[in-house]
Chain A
Amino acid sequence: MLFPSESALRADPQAVAGSSDYDIVIVGSGISGAIIAKQAAEAGKRVLVLEAGTGVNRSLVGYDDLLTTFYSAATKDNQSPFPVNANAAMPRSPQLRKLQAGETDSSTYIVQSGPYVSDTTYTRIFGGTTMHWEAKTPRMLRSDFKSRTNFGQGLDWPLSFEEIEEDYRLAEQEIGVSADVEDQSYLGQTFPDDYVFPMRGLPLSYLDQQVNNGIDGTSVDLYGQIYPLKVRPYPQARNGIPNPAYDGGRGYRPIGAVDTHQVEEGGRCQGNTNCVPLCPVQARYHSGKTLAKAFRIRGKSGQSLVELLPQAVASKVVIDPDSGKVVALEVKVYNDSASPAHETITVKGKVFVLAAGAIETARLMLSSGLRSTSGLVGRNLMDHAYLLNWALMPQICGTMRGTSSTGGIVDLRDGPFREKQAAFAIDIHNDGWGWATGAPTSDLLELVDDRNLYGADLRRGLIDRISRQLLLAVMLEVLPVESNRITVDPQFTDALGNMRPILSFTVPEYTMRGAAYARQFSRTVFARLGAQDHTSYAPSDFGYVAYEGQGYAIRGGNHLAGTHIMGTTKTNSVVDRNQRSWDHENLYLVGGGSMPTIGTANVTLTLAAMCFRSGRDILKYLH
Chain B
Amino acid sequence: MSNRVEAFLGLSAELTAFSRFDLLGTGLAERYLGTLDTVVGGEITDMLLAAFVALPPPEDGTRAQALRATILGSELLGDVARALIKLWYSGTWFELPYAWTQRFGPKSADATFVVSPDAYIEGLLWKAIGAHPAGAKAPGYGSWAYPPKIPTFPGSPTSKPDAVSVHPQNAGIMS
A residues near B (Cβ < 8 Å) are: 67-68, 70-76, 180, 182-183, 200-206, 208-209, 212-213, 233, 240-241, 262, 264-265, 268-274, 278, 280-281, 395-403, 406, 430-431, 440-441, 444-445, 448-449, 452, 454-460, 462-464, 466-467
State the 5 A-B residue pairs at the shortest beta-carbon distance, nearest first: A402-B144, A456-B155, A398-B148, A270-B138, A274-B135
Encoded as 1 (CB less than 8 Å from any A CB) or 0, chain B from 45 to 86 comes to 000000000000000000000000000100000000110011
> Is there an interface contact between A445 and B94, defined as CB atoms closer than 8 Å?
yes
Across the interface, A401 reaches (CB within 8 A) one of B125, B132, B136, B159, namely B132
> Is there an interface contact between B143 and A395, defined as CB atoms closer than 8 Å?
no
Docked complex: B145-164 residues within 8 A CB-CB of A: 145-148, 150, 153-157, 159, 161-162
Bound Cα distance from A253 to B88, whole angstroms = 42
> Is there an interface contact between A396 and B148, defined as CB atoms closer than 8 Å?
yes
Across the interface, A206 reaches (CB within 8 A) one of B118, B148, B154, B156, namely B148
> Is there an interface contact between B90 and A209, defined as CB atoms closer than 8 Å?
no
> Is there an interface contact between B17 and A458, defined as CB atoms closer than 8 Å?
yes
Chain A residue nearest to B135 in the complex (CB): A274
Question: Across the interface, which residues of B come within 8 angstroms of A67, CB to CB?
Answer: 135
> Is there an interface contact between B144 and A71, defined as CB atoms closer than 8 Å?
no
Bound Cα distance from A271 to B148, whole angstroms = 13
Given A72-B114, A201-B173, A401-B139: A456 in contact with B167 (beta carbons within 8 A): no
Given A203-B166, A212-B167: A270 in contact with B141 (beta carbons within 8 A): yes
Bound Cα distance from A240 to B159, whole angstroms = 33
Across the interface, B15 reaches (CB within 8 A) one of A272, A273, A430, A455, namely A455
CB distance from B98 to the nearest CB of A (A): 13
CB distance from A274 to the nearest CB of B (A): 4
The secondary-structure label for the interface of chain B is: loop
CB distance from A400 to the nearest CB of B (A): 4
Question: Across the interface, which residues of A come within 8 angstroms of B126, CB to CB?
Answer: 400
- Is B25 positioned at the interface, with any CB of A under 8 Å from its CB? no
CB distance from A432 to the nearest CB of B (A): 10
Across the interface, B173 reaches (CB within 8 A) one of A200, A209, A264, namely A200
> Is there an interface contact between B157 and A466, defined as CB atoms closer than 8 Å?
no
Other A-B contacts than A269-B141, A403-B144, 12 sampled, CB-CB below 8 A, are: A205-B145, A206-B147, A272-B132, A395-B162, A398-B129, A398-B144, A399-B129, A400-B126, A448-B82, A454-B14, A455-B16, A462-B129
Docked complex: B88-144 residues within 8 A CB-CB of A: 89-90, 92, 94, 112-114, 116-118, 120-121, 125-126, 128-132, 134-144
The secondary-structure label for the interface of chain A is: loop
> Is there an interface contact between B17 and A455, defined as CB atoms closer than 8 Å?
yes
Given A73-B114, A280-B136, A459-B156: A401 in contact with B144 (beta carbons within 8 A): yes
> Is there an interface contact between A74 and B144, defined as CB atoms closer than 8 Å?
no
> Is there an interface contact between A271 and B143, defined as CB atoms closer than 8 Å?
yes
> Is there an interface contact between A209 and B85, defined as CB atoms closer than 8 Å?
no
Given A72-B117, A262-B138, A467-B130: A444 in contact with B125 (beta carbons within 8 A): yes
16 CB contacts below 8 A, A to B, read A72-B117, A201-B170, A202-B142, A203-B145, A206-B144, A209-B145, A272-B135, A273-B132, A395-B162, A400-B134, A440-B129, A454-B14, A456-B155, A460-B156, A462-B125, A464-B157
Chain A residue nearest to B171 in the complex (CB): A203
Across the interface, B90 reaches (CB within 8 A) one of A72, A441, A452, namely A441
> Is there an interface contact between A71 and B120, defined as CB atoms closer than 8 Å?
yes
Question: Across the interface, which residues of A come within 8 angstroms of B1, CB to CB?
Answer: none
CB distance from A408 to the nearest CB of B (A): 14
CB distance from A431 to the nearest CB of B (A): 7
Given A398-B130, A463-B129: A430 in contact with B144 (beta carbons within 8 A): yes
Bound Cα distance from A243 to B160, whole angstroms = 35
> Is there an interface contact between B16 and A203, defined as CB atoms closer than 8 Å?
no
> Is there an interface contact between A448 and B85, defined as CB atoms closer than 8 Å?
yes
CB distance from A16 to the nearest CB of B (A): 36
Question: Across the interface, which residues of B come within 8 angstroms of A240, CB to CB?
Answer: 141
> Is there an interface contact between A431 and B134, defined as CB atoms closer than 8 Å?
yes
Bound Cα distance from A459 to B152, whole angstroms = 10
Question: Across the interface, which residues of A come within 8 angstroms of B135, CB to CB?
Answer: 67, 70-71, 272-274, 278, 280
> Is there an interface contact between B138 and A281, defined as CB atoms closer than 8 Å?
yes
> Is there an interface contact between A452 and B72, defined as CB atoms closer than 8 Å?
yes
Bound Cα distance from A270 to B139, whole angstroms = 6
CB distance from B147 to the nearest CB of A (A): 6
Question: Across the interface, which residues of A come within 8 angstroms of B173, CB to CB?
Answer: 200-201, 203, 241
- Is B2 positioned at the interface, with any CB of A under 8 Å from its CB? no
Question: Across the interface, which residues of B come within 8 angstroms of A72, CB to CB?
Answer: 114, 116-117, 120
Bound Cα distance from A467 to B130, whole angstroms = 9
Chain B residue nearest to A70 in the complex (CB): B135
> Is there an interface contact between B86 and A448, defined as CB atoms closer than 8 Å?
yes
Given A272-B132, A459-B153: A205 in contact with B165 (beta carbons within 8 A): no
